[in-house]
Homo-oligomer: A and B are copies of this chain.
Amino acid sequence: MTAATPVGVRSRRTADVPALVASASQGDARAVGRLISLVEDASPALREVMALLAPRAGHARVIGLTGSPGVGKSTSTSALVAAYRQRGMRVGVLAVDPSSPFSGGALLGDRVRMQDHATDDGVFIRSMASRGHLGGLSWATPQALRVLSAAGCDVVLVETVGVGQAEVEVASLADTTLVLLAPGMGDGIQAAKAGILEVADVFVVNKADREGADTVVRDLRYMQSLGTQSPSQAKVEGKWVAPILKTVAARGEGIEDVVDAVEQHGDWLARTGELQRRRARRASDEVEAIALTVLRDRMGDLRGGNVLEGLAERVVAGELDPYAAADELVAAVTA
């Protein structure tokens, strides 16, 4: 079976992983979708998939897009997709946003495409459930990014609602993080609270035709002027000060400026070595998370074998404290 052979993935029970990866690398949307499903289902085939994808997994620029519900994340994502398509780039979208109309499907376990881009084969859109990972991104997000990158996406937009620590997580995954705000949502105060100053590489004040947009811009400038640059930014030469842009995403206004700002940030990342640092940190986090999962699975096996149950019972009975029990568990796992 050659790379060009279309693979009838839906008719197979056991995926032919190398063929699937080959098809996905050719940009076959069904193969890409199937691979992301394997990722989401934590399929045993995942290891083989990731091994095959490794050489192409770092191709895409990853752009995070976060903000409170109602700021227009989905509209902005859609407008950005259109802008990148006009530049001839292949675009992936991962919507990990319980409030997003795109991600409604994920909750039901299926897939929803953005209306405007449904027939464009240069666009891959995937909604992902965030369950299994408290209030944040799906644990499968980094691996879905690898799939989209290997499928030839030049840009992947990761859209997530800025609730809890999700915006911190998306920033840890992304090369460039866009923080969206909108007038009339008390965002100025929210911004200070949630520490979005630390994660934003570009601020986008959407719905800028509404009253109060300038106030949001002013509040952001004021907060920036307080000099609370993020530690990671302070460390590198030539600080990046997040630009504050105004958009009306529903009409496409200001979107080109956002794309330009992302490009400038990309240049800055490359020039300062920060891109390499961010990606290394991301890979460290990913490897560590997988290693912990492996170890947790071993504990689960021990759970089945009553080791953990026995320890837990002694903790409940007050015979053992949880730390001493954990030491015994670690000893069992690493034996």
Contact = CB atoms under 8 A, between A and B. Distances in A.
Interface string A95-138: 00000000000000000000000000000000000000111100
A287 interface: yes
A17 interface: no
A167 to B, nearest CB: 11
A321 B134 contact: no
B291 A326 contact: yes
B287 A50 contact: no
A330 interface: yes
A24 to B, nearest CB: 15
Interface stretch (A28-36, A67-75, A266-274, A308-316): A308-316
Interface residues of A, number: 61
Contact of A287 (B47, B53, B325): B325
Contact of A57 (B135, B288, B318, B325): B318
A89 interface: no
A47 B325 CA distance: 11
Contacts of A323: 46-47, 50-51, 290
A218 interface: no
Contact of A334 (B169, B292, B334): B334
B309 A299 contact: no
Contacts of A294: 326-327, 330
A323 B281 CA distance: 16
A321 B53 contact: yes
Contact of A164 (B53, B163, B284, B312): B163
A291 B134 contact: no
A287 B322 contact: yes
A282 to B, nearest CB: 8
A324 interface: yes
Contacts of A143: 322
The 7 A-B pairs at the shortest CB distance, nearest first, are namely A135-B135, A135-B164, A290-B326, A283-B312, A334-B334, A50-B321, A134-B134
Given A287-B308, A295-B330, 5 more contacts: A283-B313, A287-B312, A287-B329, A288-B308, A290-B322
22 contacts: A50-B321, A50-B324, A51-B321, A51-B324, A54-B321, A55-B318, A57-B318, A134-B135, A135-B135, A163-B164, A164-B164, A281-B312, A283-B315, A284-B308, A284-B311, A287-B315, A287-B325, A288-B299, A291-B326, A291-B330, A292-B295, A295-B333
